[in-house]
Every structure is written in structure tokens, then in C-alpha cells.
């Protein structure tokens, strides 16, 4: 590697400046008032020429986006000036200075003065490979800075002092507190400065890379942080907050927003490898339906593990084992009759003895070996296989045709895109690149993303009137624009419960909040009854709730696995179904406004320094604080309630606590400590067996008033649960105004939209027992009375 030093101004354009430094061009883009981008590349060979990570309007072509394009961005007012010691690019509140020798420095206008937020290391900032490809970036590090993000990473939420590797890996049975790397590739960090300001840095580079956030010390350099990529260019986006939430929302928008899935995707989704691995798989799957009904467990879908596609002990995508599943159509109908959708597991690698292998190879649909041009061969599921090249339009068509014929036409509702880390051994293996060849070293997460995109497009064509729902295990930035995800094949132990939660919050801070975990643990021994109950209580408070397992001892994680625990498990799942209207509104807000669905407490309470201490609480939306019991044998829970100026209620409303206090509450095994911010309204529904808009005819608004005086606006969204937002019967958006004074609680709302739900009234609940006069839409009513939904 060599550090870049000398540079000169090469060109000035309406929306960019171009510098020349050795064999490289450095392009400075003022992308928005809060975004500046630095792109360093060799003009004759940008590597790669396109990106699939940036999609500000959610309309990215499958061929990707040219890296030199500013389409989709409105260049803000900006000015530039070349001085004796550098060049300044200045917008209203953000300024980038390029120093001599080459160093980058970012500043923010704060309270009328420019404050330096970040700068490159004084002893060398940007280094490039002398031969071949690869890039390094070194920034000065302040010990008072806090680092967050990087997506799905193990250990604590705050990343200071650690080193991480970005490389998609099938980390079966990982340890949630320390294993690295894992399944996803999200090279994005958020820095909170000593002054309480925040900024994000996104390196749009999908090669194997490493982040050092203070683990490494070098006597010849001042304290620094480092990004090192084995291949590709330096394409760096600087996102100014100034609050962390601003950074999170901007990055979510930048990478394509959040898919708005159907309402049923928020219900309980059953799954286990045991059923489809059984020789009588269809019979066992039917038993799951019967047992849900027998134990009164609400359920909306079942995830069909890959055993349905087995020949012997191996898995062969887009095949059916008719000995295990004699009639897939009848199997699907059994689920549909019970109100459950079926989600089928699919994999992007064909084993070399797959029935379709030779046909696919002859058509050139596989990633190609760098030496021979024949299909690359890599280990896959205890055998050898070749990975499909989704940068080839013909591969996408083959995939979509098979998904349609082998699954969707049989009644399968959705795809579970699994084992899609694309662990290709030959890093220089060749991809078609839509006509511009790529190497696997710079594009593996692109293959994951395009696999999911192909599945999404097939489902959308098959059922054009319904919103597609997909699941993916792996991917890079932007995976959330197509699919829900989870944190992979975790290990059954108490520490997984704690650190999976942190992993999920790390994903949420990185633009991916429609997530969950394998409840009960996937690998290892089965959970005991206590751990299973606590895990279920935690799982029902995440956007994705799935109990999934492949236990070493051959047992199965199911809601009824412990007779003595069934009541507690059912109670937790029933709570989730009561909260579906709230969850659904959160999903809509994630789609419409880029609001993260799950959030660390610090995200909404940056003014409260205590929330930056590592903790075991999180927020579901802005208003529900979840405090799962994470310790074995614990029957009480100590937690910190953030300073929100008006305090918190228990969900049941029986207690009110002052803000900014540490409390200890009882937490018997059947109880999930759950708290609600004072001054809000939570929509709820009655318990239902599964999502059904026609039967969802009882709704309530739970009012948690300000303890004294206050005013708050709350939005509630509803529709039929599956039509596109601009189609079908439309939507219903309620804007609620809650106003409290010393004598009364006023709740008024307005509605917009054409959707007319099965419920015509709303029961107004005040679980806190507040005795102030309750006035709803101008009329005094008693608590628990019902009022018309529409005037």
C-alpha cells in the first residue's frame, strides 16, 4: 500500500469537483445539505463501475447504478474555494476540507460556528494498493467518541475498542457475544462525538474488509480508526445528523427504504427443520396445524425448511421429495384452511449432482471459475456445488421460472432465501455483471441482494394485487428494501438471548429493523422451560417472531414443548396479537418515514447520558419499552427508565414511574416487564387465531395520559393488510391528538383514506385508572366506553 499525498484540482462541474492524485481521480459530491460523498477511483477502471447499495427512491434498476451518477439527489446550494493549504467544499451546515498533503476534514456549523467533526489521521489518511486493488482509510480517533452500527455484529452495541471483519459467512451455531464475521455485510458506522453530535460514514465497498475502532495501537501514529478493503475503490458517504436518529433515517432512505410487507408477516411464524427432515414430513406438518388449534396458539405462517427438497441426505433447490410430501398442493391447502401462509426455503447453489446442474451449466448461469471459465466449485451443505450468477439476466429468468413453477403455482405464498452468503472459494471467480464483468471479490453481497430481488419480482408477477413478503438470511446494504431478515443460526444459551438483542439493535441502527431471531436457539441443546419462556417473551416484541430450531439432540422447539410452560408461552403470543395494530403502524412508518421499528433507548433519548450505558432494554417504536428478563432464575428485573420528561407506566397501567430513574419490578416467569411512555395512545385488537381483516372487528385505544399537563400527536395506520398502498380498498390513517390538563383528558382524532375496516367502533381504555374527566371527540365518556370510528 502507499499513501496518497499530492493532488491538484482537475475539473469543476455543476454537481461535483474532480481532483487528480497520482493515477486516481477523487470526486467530491455535495449530494444533499447533510451529505457529502468522496469517490476515489482509477478513471480507466472503476471497481466496480456500478453500485447496488444506493437507491434513494426505491426504483433501482437490476443492473445497478452508475457510481458517477447523482440521479435521485437534488444538489444543494454549495460553494468551493481553493486556499493555500487546501480546498473547501461548503454547504449550509456541512463543510469538507481537502488539506495538503491529502487529508480530509469534515466540519458542522453549530450554534453559528464551524466545529470539526472528523478528520483523517495526520500521519496518513488514504492508502491504495501499489499493485492490484484494495484501499485503506485512516481517521483520527478521540477516546471520547462512541461508535455504533456495522449491522449484525456480536458483542456490545457500542463498538469502541474492537475489530470487525465484513465477510458474509454461514456461522452455524455462533456465539452471539464474540463470533465474527457473521451473515451480513453492512460497512456503515455512526459516530457520536464528545460534543453530542452524530455522523455516519458508509463505505460503499462490498469486498472483504475490516474495521478497527481502537483495538489497534501503533507507536508511530496518533490514535486512529481504520477501514481496510481487500478490493474495490474508496466510495465514502458522510452523513451529518446532528442526532443519531437523523443519521439512521438518512441511511435507511439512502439504501432504498423498507419494504412494506403484508400484515400477516407480523404474526407468529412456525418453523423447524425437524418436520421436513422427517420421512413423513407432510403428516408432521399437518400435526403442527392441529397442535396450534389444540393449544389455542395463534399462528399466521409456517416456514418450510429445505428438507422438502431432499434427495437422500442432500438438498436440491426447486425439487420435491414426494416420499416425504406426496402432495404439496394438499399440504399447502391444509395450512391455508387454517389461515396460515406457507414460506418455502430456497438456496442459490446447485450441488454438482443436482438434476438440473448440467442444463444450468450449459446455459452459462453459474459463477465462472477464474482460470477455466467453467462453473466455480465450492463446498455447500456437506457436498460440492456451484453458485448461480444473479448478475446474469438469464440466471434471474431461470430462477423466477422455477420459483413460479415449482413453488408458487403449487400455492406456496412466499420465499425464504437461505444459505445465500455466496461463500465462493475462488475470490477472482467471474460474474457476468450485466455485460460488465465483475469478480466475486467485489460483488458477493450483490449476488445475495439480486437473488432476493429475483424472488421478489417473481412473487410480484404471480400475485400482482398483493404485497410480496420475503425472508433473507444474508445480504448487504439495501436488503431491507425487499425482505425481512433474522440473525441466523444462533446457539441455545442465555447469553444468546442477551446479545442477539444487541445484534438486532445494531442492524436497526444500520437501516435494517424488520428483524428477529431464532427463538429458543437454533443449534445446541434444547432450551429448558425457563429459557424458552423468556426467549418467547423477548421474541414477541420483535418485528419477526419465529420459533425455529435444529437441536443437536433431535428435539423440536415448539410452543407446547413443555406442558408446564404452554400457558406462559400462549400468554406472550396473545400479547403480540393484541399489539398487532401498533406493530403494523410501526411497519408502515418504517416504510413511509424510515423510522426504525426497534430502537436502543439512546436513539430517542440522546439527552440522557445514562441511556448510552450498555443495557438490556430496548424500545419497540418510540413508546413501548421492553425489559426482558435475561438472567436464569431471576424473578425481578432492575432497569433504567429514560428521561422522557413525563415518566412511564407499566403496560397494565397499575404503576407510574418518574423519568430518569432506576427501578426494580417483580418479574415472575409468566410476566414480561413492559412499559409505556406517558402521553401516548396504543392501538390494540382482540386476540385472533390469525390475521383476517374481515374478522378483525374489535379494536381499542389504550390511553396512557400525561401525569399532569401535555400534548401529543399519535398516528395509527390500517388497511386490508395485503393490497398495495395505492391500490385495492385503500388505507385508513388516524391522527390522534391527546391533550391533558389538571382536570381532563382530551382525545380527538381525524381520519383520512377510503379504507373501511370490519370494526366500526373504538373502545377507549384508560388502564392507568386516571380519574380525570375523559372527553373524546368533544363528548364526555366513561372509560372503557366505545365511540364511533368515523364521525
Give tens-digit pLDDT for 476-535: 999 999 999 999 999 999 999 999 999 999 999 999 999 999 999 999 999 999 999 999
Please give the Cα distance from 410 to 339 (Å, whole number).
17
pLDDT at 382 over 80: yes
The CATH number that domain 680-788 falls under is: 2.60.40.1180
Percent of the chain with pLDDT over 90: 97
End-to-end CA distance of the chain: 70
Render pLDDT for 107-116 as a digit per residue (tens, 0 to 9). 999 888 999 9
**Residue 350 vs residues 92, 160, 471, 727: alpha-carbon distances, Å:** 53, 41, 20, 38
Please give the Cα distance from 542 to 455 (Å, whole number).
24
Cell 413453477, located at residue: 405
pLDDT at 687 over 80: no
Res 645: pLDDT: 86
Higher pLDDT, 381 or 766: 766
pLDDT at 367 over 80: yes
Q: Compute and round to an integer the Cα radius of gyration of the chain.
A: 27
Res 457: pLDDT: 98
Give, to the nearest 10 degrees, the angle between helix 566-578 and helix 580-593.
50
- Residue 145 contacts by C-beta under 8 Å, 6 or more apart in sequence? 160, 191, 192, 193, 194
- Residue 664: band (very low, low, confident or very high) from pLDDT cuts 50, 70, 90: very high
Mean pLDDT of 185-190: 98
Res 84: pLDDT: 87
Please give the Cα distance from 535 to 499 (Å, whole number).
12
Please give the Cα distance from 418 to 594 (Å, whole number).
26
Angle at 706 between CA 700 and CA 710, to 5 degrees: 115
pLDDT at 91 over 90: yes
Res 791: pLDDT: 77
Mean pLDDT of 685-713: 95
**Residue 235 vs residues 53, 334, 457, 768: alpha-carbon distances, Å:** 11, 50, 29, 52
Res 181: pLDDT: 98
Domain boundaries, the chain: 598-677, 680-788
Cell 437422500, located at residue: 312
Answer whether 598-677 and 680-788 agree in fold.
yes
Buried b (16+ CB within 10 A) or exposed e, 29-58: bbbbbbbbbbbbbeeeebbbbbbbbbbbeb
Percent of the chain with pLDDT over 70: 100
pLDDT at 304 over 90: yes
- Rounded-to-5 percentages of helix, strand, coil across the chain: 20, 30, 45
- Residue 152: band (very low, low, confident or very high) from pLDDT cuts 50, 70, 90: very high
Task: Work out the number of other CB atoms within 10 angstroms of the CB of residue 500.
Answer: 30
Res 112: pLDDT: 87
The CATH fold assigned to 598-677 is: Immunoglobulin-like (2.60.40)
Render pLDDT for 65-86 as a digit per residue (tens, 0 to 9). 999 999 999 999 999 999 988 9
Please give the Cα distance from 560 to 567 (Å, whole number).
9
Mean pLDDT of 262-267: 98
pLDDT at 321 over 80: yes
Render pLDDT for 227-242 as a digit per residue (tens, 0 to 9). 999 999 999 999 999 9
pLDDT at 726 over 90: no
Please give the Cα distance from 598 to 590 (Å, whole number).
10
Identify the helix (H) or strand (E) that includes residue 290: helix 281-294
Amino acid at each position: 500500500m502507499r499513501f496518497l499525498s499530492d493532488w491538484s484540482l482537475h475539473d469543476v462541474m455543476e454537481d461535483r469537483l474532480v481532483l487528480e492524485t497520482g493515477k486516481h481521480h477523487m470526486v467530491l459530491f455535495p449530494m444533499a445539505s447533510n451529505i457529502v460523498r468522496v469517490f476515489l477511483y482509477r478513471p480507466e477502471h472503476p471497481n466496480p463501475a456500478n453500485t447496488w447499495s444506493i437507491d434513494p427512491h426505491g426504483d433501482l434498476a437490476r443492473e445497478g447504478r452508475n457510481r458517477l451518477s447523482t440521479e435521485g439527489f437534488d444538489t444543494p446550494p454549495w460553494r468551493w474555494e481553493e486556499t493555500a493549504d487546501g480546498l473547501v467544499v461548503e454547504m449550509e451546515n456541512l463543510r469538507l476540507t481537502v488539506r495538503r498533503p491529502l487529508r480530509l476534514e469534515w466540519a458542522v456549523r453549530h450554534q453559528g460556528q464551524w466545529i470539526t467533526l472528523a478528520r483523517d489521521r495526520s500521519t496518513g489518511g488514504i492508502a491504495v494498493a501499489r499493485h492490484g486493488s484494495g484501499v485503506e482509510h485512516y481517521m483520527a480517533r478521540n477516546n471520547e467518541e462512541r461508535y455504533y452500527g456495522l449491522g449484525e455484529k456480536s458483542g456490545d452495541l457500542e463498538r469502541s475498542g474492537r475489530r470487525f471483519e465484513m465477510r458474509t459467512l454461514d456461522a452455524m451455531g455462533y456465539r452471539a457475544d464474540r463470533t465474527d464475521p457473521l451473515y451480513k455485510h453492512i460497512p456503515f458506522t455512526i459516530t457520536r462525538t464528545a460534543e453530542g453530535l452524530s455522523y455516519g460514514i458508509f463505505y460503499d465497498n462490498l469486498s472483504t474488509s475490516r474495521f478497527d475502532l481502537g483495538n489497534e495501537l501503533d507507536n508511530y501514529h496518533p490514535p486512529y480508526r481504520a477501514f481496510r478493503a481487500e478490493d474495490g475503490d474508496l466510495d465514502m458517504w458522510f452523513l451529518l445528523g446532528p442526532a443519531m436518529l437523523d443519521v439512521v433515517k438518512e441511511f435507511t432512505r439512502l439504501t432504498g427504504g423498507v419494504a412494506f410487507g403484508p400484515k400477516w408477516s407480523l404474526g407468529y411464524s412456525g418453523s423447524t427443520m425437524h418436520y421436513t427432515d422427517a420421512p413423513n414430513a407432510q403428516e408432521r406438518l399437518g400435526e403442527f396445524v392441529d397442535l396450534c388449534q389444540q393449544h389455542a396458539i395463534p399462528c399466521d405462517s409456517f416456514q418450510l425448511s429445505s428438507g422438502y427438497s431432499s434427495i437422500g441426505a442432500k438438498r436440491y433447490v426447486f425439487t420435491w421429495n414426494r416420499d416425504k410430501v406426496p402432495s404439496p398442493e394438499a399440504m399447502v391447502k391444509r395450512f391455508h384452511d387454517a389461515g396460515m401462509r406457507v414460506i418455502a426455503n430456497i438456496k442459490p447453489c446447485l450441488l454438482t449432482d443436482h438434476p438440473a446442474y448440467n442444463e444450468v451449466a450449459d446455459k452459462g448461469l453459474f459463477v465462472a471459475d477464474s482460470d477455466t471459465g467453467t462453473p466455480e466449485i465450492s463446498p455447500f451443505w456437506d457436498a460440492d456445488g456451484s453458485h448461480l450468477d444473479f448478475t446474469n439476466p438469464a440466471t434471474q429468468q431461470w430462477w423466477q421460472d422455477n420459483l413460479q413453477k415449482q413453488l408458487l403455482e403449487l400455492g406456496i405464498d412466499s420465499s425464504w432465501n437461505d444459505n445465500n452468503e455466496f461463500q465462493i472459494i475462488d475470490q477472482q471467480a467471474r460474474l457476468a455483471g450485466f455485460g460488465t464483468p465483475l469478480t466475486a471479490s467485489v460483488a458477493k453481497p450483490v449476488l445475495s441482494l439480486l437473488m432476493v430481488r429475483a424472488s421478489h419480482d417473481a412473487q410480484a408477477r404471480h400475485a400482482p394485487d398483493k404485497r410480496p413478503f420475503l425472508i433473507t438470511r444474508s445480504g448487504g446494504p439495501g436488503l431491507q428494501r425487499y425482505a425481512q431478515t433474522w440473525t441466523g443460526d444462533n446457539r441455545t444459551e442465555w447469553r444468546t438471548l442477551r446479545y442477539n438483542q444487541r445484534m438486532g439493535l445494531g442492524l436497526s441502527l444500520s437501516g435494517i429493523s424488520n428483524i428477529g431471531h431464532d427463538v429458543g436457539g437454533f443449534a445446541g441443546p434444547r432450551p429448558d422451560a425457563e429459557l424458552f419462556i423468556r426467549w418467547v417473551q423477548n421474541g414477541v416484541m420483535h418485528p419477526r417472531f419465529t420459533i425455529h430450531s435444529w437441536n443437536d439432540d433431535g428435539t423440536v422447539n415448539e410452543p407446547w414443548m413443555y406442558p408446564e410452560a404452554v400457558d406462559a408461552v400462549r400468554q406472550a403470543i396473545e400479547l403480540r396479537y393484541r399489539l398487532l395494530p401498533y406493530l403494523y403502524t410501526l411497519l408502515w412508518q418504517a416504510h413511509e418515514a424510515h423510522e426504525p421499528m426497534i430502537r436502543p433507548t439512546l436513539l430517542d433519548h440522546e439527552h440522557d447520558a445514562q441511556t448510552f450505558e450498555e443495557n438490556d432494554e430496548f424500545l419497540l417504536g418510540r413508546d413501548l419499552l421492553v425489559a426482558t428478563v435475561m438472567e436464569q432464575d431471576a424473578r425481578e428485573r432492575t432497569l433504567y427508565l429514560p428521561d422522557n420528561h413525563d415518566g412511564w407506566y407499566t403496560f397494565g397501567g397499575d404503576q407510574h414511574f418518574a423519568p430518569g430513574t432506576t427501578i426494580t419490578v417483580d418479574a415472575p416467569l409468566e410476566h414480561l416487564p413492559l412499559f409505556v411512555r406517558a402521553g401516548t395512545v396504543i392501538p390494540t385488537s382482540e386476540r385472533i387465531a390469525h390475521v383476517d381483516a374481515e374478522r378483525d372487528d374489535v379494536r381499542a385505544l389504550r390511553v396512557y395520559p400525561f401525569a399532569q399537563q401535555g400534548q401529543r400527536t399519535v398516528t395509527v395506520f390500517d388497511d386490508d393488510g395485503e393490497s398495495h398502498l395505492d391500490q385495492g380498498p385503500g388505507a385508513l390513517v388516524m391522527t390522534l391528538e391527546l391533550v391533558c390538563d389538571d382536570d381532563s383528558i382530551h382525545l380527538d382524532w381525524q381520519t383520512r383514506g377510503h379504507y373501511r375496516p370490519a370494526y366500526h367502533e373504538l373502545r377507549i381504555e384508560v388502564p392507568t385508572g386516571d380519574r380525570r374527566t375523559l372527553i373524546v371527540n368533544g363528548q364526555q365518556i366513561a372509560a372503557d366506553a366505545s365511540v364511533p370510528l368515523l364521525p
